[in-house]
Amino acid sequence: MSDSHQSATAAPAEGRSIAQLQDELLREVASLPTLPGVYRYFDQHEAVLYVGKAINLKKRVSSYFQKNHGATRIGHMVSKIARMETTVVRSEAEALLLENNLIKALNPRYNILFRDDKSYPYLKMSGVGTSAGQAAAFPRVSYYRGAVEKKHQYFGPYPSAWAVKEAILLMQKVFRLRTCEDTVFNNRTRPCLLFEIKRCSAPCVGHISASDYAQDRADAGRFLRGDAQQVMQGLESRMMAHAERLEFEQAAELRNQVAALSNVLHQQSVDNVSDRDVDILAVKVHGGRACVNLAMVRGGRHLGDRPYFPVHVEEAVAVALDDDLPDADDAEKAAPTIESQILEAFVAQHYLSQPIPASLVVSDPIDKHLLKALSSQAGFKITAVHQPREQRRVWLEMAQTNAGLQLARLLAEEGSQQARSRALAEALELPLDALEELRIECFDISHTAGEATQASCVVFHHHKMQSAEYRRYRIDDITPGDDYAAMRQVLLRRYGKLAEVLQEAQQSGQLAAGTGRLPDLVLVDGGKGQVAMAREVFEQLGLDLSLIIGVEKGEGRKVGLEELVFADGRDKVYLGKDSAALMLVAQIRDEAHRFAITGMRAQRAKVRLDGGKLEEIAGVGAKRRARLLQRFGGVRGVAQASAEDIATVDGISRELADAIYRALH
């Protein structure tokens, strides 16, 4: 840790009384410095309660312990604090960045948290010379998600895959850039359908020179950066030059390009927009939930939007509003609104890992210190406009409308899911006082005639599917097609270690911090046979048999006729075709089936193809690989060919054909 960062940490809380912990906390608070920093509160089980920042650490942290917060949420939080950690920093801007890094890493209960989404997609233009063969002179445009490389050009980010595909279609319509893979490009002998419908200039068969293609690629790049009018003027100048030289065919091609570009500019109304890159952020709060809608403008074009839904909103806002002792430097600053708090949390957390444009248009004001911190991190000045005019106002109103619609959809879905959870709990006589914590894990087995057997485990918790907690298990050392053995293996692997930990805790009377928990229900996709296998596993592990429920298909395997089979001897239950409880069971079961199927297919493809990629087969070099791909249309086509067919390819002997066939099968 550098000289500007110092950390103070209390000893672990285990084995000490609440009174001892409180005394130690007060002594530690008294010794805190009057410097800017970040503090973290932990409970007795080492779970993080809250992460906060302060200009004056001693004054801010003292405020939590020097007043009676009563039965408020902040009082409830303070009563749980067993220890704390503090880190001294150089400035409030540095404290802001550290605070939000820690919030994302530690997931505290009393902070507004925006969970990480998948990385944003980009439109990628491959660099000149980065491809193999003839394709090196004709870079392609493609959809891309991942780390960027300097040798290629990237445009975006875009809010969705759909937005990228729309941009690629635009590149095809106006600039006719290629989108095909290099292996396809290098082995074509005639133009593809895209050339016939005027979506590609067919560089693969020499219908355009490398210099003309490079000009189109450069124009496309300028257009994506927002220089549409300059591109239009350049195309018109080139068209007139060809016409003056009586090169009418070339002039006609450019005329068509100008017309296509003019149509795009008219449709997207970008000619009167001065903004190039802007993010528009709108917040809506209702029913204890919130939505931040992020709309993106890149190169002057509105690319679409994406909603984000924070967690811990009620707890975090209650703590922030009740914690009404500001730092000394902020004594005259008005308390931020709920919407501003949520928006600031999003901006701080989101742009820690995503590129930020120089201009933000926001529905609620943002703290100037946050903008200063982000500007320092980005290396350029970032501004936020709260009450925009003209086109920016139109964008903001659109984002606000979308935020309201997305929040209404979420509340409707959550209401439906909560009703389903309650219906299932009532049908199975589960406790109704902690439905928010109801956890269901469901298992399914999938394979094709015994090949590439996969087991899936999906998790339902907090009234929704928790995809981050899904797991796949590769099943080995069983008789192919033995679903019972596969179920036995996956349940032992899933619950074996947890059962040991729980038994040790029962004997010692103390459960270690961070230990997982058994679900409230374990669903298995199957009837009496699968339930009997699950029962054997749970008896072996010493676990509660009442947790196991089998989902048995009804007569004719018709949807809605499923029955629940219990491992503890209870009679089968039919919930009813229109039962909300059955809808939830079917939803979880179908998700387990989907997750298992996709894993099995990927594993099967890996077994059949990945292990035998042509470039990994001894004796198959670049020329032979190109001939095979050209003859059969790809690796899958080669895999489907017989050894005799493979041997008919020029340069492939019968011995090598046999080796290729074996590798691919």
Q: pTM of the entire structure?
A: 0.67
pLDDT of 181 reads 86
Residue 82 and residue 49: Cα distance in Å, rounded?
10
Q: What is the DSSP string of 201-242?
A: --GGGTSS-HHHHHHHHHHHHHHHTT-HHHHHHHHHHHHHHH
Residue 10 pLDDT > 60: no
Give yes or no for a cis peptide into 157 (omega within 30° of 0). Answer: yes
Residue 524 pLDDT > 90: yes
Q: What is the pLDDT of residues 604-636, one digit of tens each?
A: 555 444 434 666 677 787 778 778 877 776 677
Confidence of residue 325 (pLDDT cuts 50, 70, 90): very low
Residue that wins the pLDDT comparison between 210 and 21: 210
∠ CA 267-269-272, nearest 5°, is: 160
Q: What is the DSSP string of 71-126?
A: TSHHHHHHHH--EEEEEE-SSHHHHHHHHHHHHHHH--TTS-B----PPPPEEEEP
Q: Which residues contact 326 (CB under 8 A, 6 or more apart)?
A: 333
Neighbours of 306 (CB within 10 A): 18
Confidence of residue 489 (pLDDT cuts 50, 70, 90): very high
The residue with tokens 């490398």 is 210
pLDDT of 284 reads 93
Coil, strand or helix at 332: coil
Q: What is the pLDDT of residues 337-365, one digit of tens each?
A: 889 989 999 999 998 878 899 999 999 99
Residue 33 pLDDT > 60: yes
Q: Which residues contact 256 (CB under 8 A, 6 or more apart)?
A: 198
* Domain spans of the chain, in order of start: 6-106, 278-323+336-408, 439-607, 609-664
Q: Tell me if domain 278-323+336-408 and domain 439-607 are identical in fold.
A: yes
Confidence of residue 512 (pLDDT cuts 50, 70, 90): low
The two three-digit tokens of residue 153, written as one number:
């050009």
Q: What is the pLDDT of residues 83-104, one digit of tens each?
A: 889 999 888 888 888 898 899 8
Question: Which long-range contacts does 500-503 make (Cβ < 8 Å, 24+ apart)?
Answer: 503/542
Neighbours of 277 (CB within 10 A): 16
DSSP 136: G
Of the ranges 157-166, 177-186, 372-381, 603-612, which one carries the lowest mean pLDDT score? 603-612
pLDDT of 436 reads 85
**Mean pLDDT of the residues in the chain:** 81
pLDDT of 133 reads 77
pLDDT of 610 reads 43
Q: What is the pLDDT of residues 540-580, one digit of tens each?
A: 999 999 999 999 887 766 767 788 999 988 888 888 877 88
Query: Of all residues in the chain, what percent carry a pLDDT higher than 90?
Result: 20
- CATH fit for domain 609-664, picks 3.40.640.10, 3.50.50.60, 1.10.150.20, 1.50.10.20: 1.10.150.20
Q: Which fold has domain 278-323+336-408?
A: Nucleotidyltransferase; domain 5 (3.30.420)
Residue that wins the pLDDT comparison between 263 and 349: 349
Query: Of all residues in the chain, what percent carry a pLDDT higher than 70?
Result: 84
pLDDT of 156 reads 81
Q: Which residues contact 37 (CB under 8 A, 6 or more apart)?
A: 53, 54, 57, 86, 87, 88, 89, 95
Coil, strand or helix at 409: helix
CATH number given to 439-607: 3.30.420.340
∠ CA 296-302-307, nearest 5°, is: 40
**Cα end-to-end distance, the chain, whole Å:** 54
pLDDT of 609 reads 44
Of the ranges 115-124, 229-238, 387-396, which one carries the lowest mean pLDDT score? 229-238
Domain 6-106: give its CATH architecture: 3-Layer(aba) Sandwich (3.40)
| Alpha-carbon distance values, 344 to 313, 336, 363, 373, 375 (Å) | 13, 10, 11, 12, 14
